[in-house]
Amino acid sequence: MRDVIKAGLILCIISLTVALALAFTYSATKDTIELRKLEKAEEARALVMPYAESFEEIENLDLSSSIVKAAYNGVTDGNIVGSVFEVEVSGYGGPIQITVGIDNKGLITGVNIGDNTETPGLGQKITKEDFLNQFKDISHEKSLKAVKNPSAKEEEIHIASGATISSEAVVDAVQAAMDLNQEIINGKGDL
C-alpha cells in the first residue's frame, strides 16, 4: 500500500512540474506568438494590395454573422486605394484563412491563402499561384462560380484538381469579400 501512495505522490509531483513548465513557456512566448500573427496578417494584406502603404481597420462593421472577420482600407498618400478583407471559411480539412484585396474600381487585386489544414498535396493546391491568379482583376459585377470545366467567362474559377471542396470554399470566401465590399461602397455596410 505504501508503494502505491509513494508512486502516486511521485506522479503528482512530476505532473505538477510539467504543468508549471508549460505555463511558464506559454507565458514567456505568448506575446511573441501574438506579434508573429499580427506581422503575418500585415504581410498577407501587403501581398494582396501591394500598392497600399498602410492599412486601417474599417470600424463599425457588423461582421458577427459573416465569414468575413475583418476589413481594412488600403491607404497610399492619405488616400484610400482599396479594401482588404480577412475571411475564414471551412474547407475539407478545417478552417482556411483567406485575405482578399479589392481596389476602388471593384477589381480583385489579389487573394492569399493563410493558415489552413487542407490535405497536403491535393488540398494545398489552393495555395498555388495558378489557382489564385484566376481571381485577379475580376470585377464585383460578376458572381464567382467554381467549375470543373470553365468556359471563357472570367467569373468561372477552375477548381483545383482533387481539391473540389477546398476550391469551392475559396470561391465562397472571395465572393463574400466582394459582396461586403459592394455593400460598403453602396453605404449599406452597417457603418
Instruction: Give bridge partners of residue 80 from the DSSP assignment.
Output: 75
Cβ atoms 102, 83 nearer than 8 A? yes
- Does residue 120 or residue 19 have the better pLDDT? 19
63-83: per-residue pLDDT in tens? Answer: 877 899 999 999 999 999 999
**pLDDT above 80: residue 152:** no
**pLDDT above 60: residue 188:** no
- In the chain, the percentage of residues whose pLDDT exceeds 90 is 47
Cβ atoms 67, 176 nearer than 8 A? yes
Spatial separation of the C-alpha atoms in residues 43 and 55, rounded to whole Å = 11
Spatial separation of the C-alpha atoms in residues 183 and 174, rounded to whole Å = 14
* Model pTM score: 0.80
List C-alpha distances in Å: 10 to 4, 6, 17, 22, 160. 10, 6, 11, 18, 54
List C-alpha distances in Å: 41 to 88, 99, 170, 191. 13, 8, 17, 23
Question: What integer best gives the mean pLDDT of the chain?
Answer: 88
Domain spans in the chain, listed from the N-terminal domain onward? 54-185
How does residue 84 score in pLDDT terms, banded at 50, 70 and 90?
very high
Per 3-state DSSP, the chain is made up of helix, strand and coil in percentages (nearest 5) of: 40, 25, 30
* pLDDT, mean of residues 13-28: 91
Instruction: Give bridge partners of residue 95 from the DSSP assignment.
Output: 90
3-state SS class at 76: strand
**pLDDT above 70: residue 191:** no
How does residue 190 score in pLDDT terms, banded at 50, 70 and 90?
very low
* pLDDT, mean of residues 1-11: 87
**pLDDT above 60: residue 153:** yes
- In the chain, the percentage of residues whose pLDDT exceeds 70 is 97
21-78: per-residue pLDDT in tens? Answer: 999 888 888 888 888 888 888 999 999 999 999 999 998 888 877 899 999 999 999 9
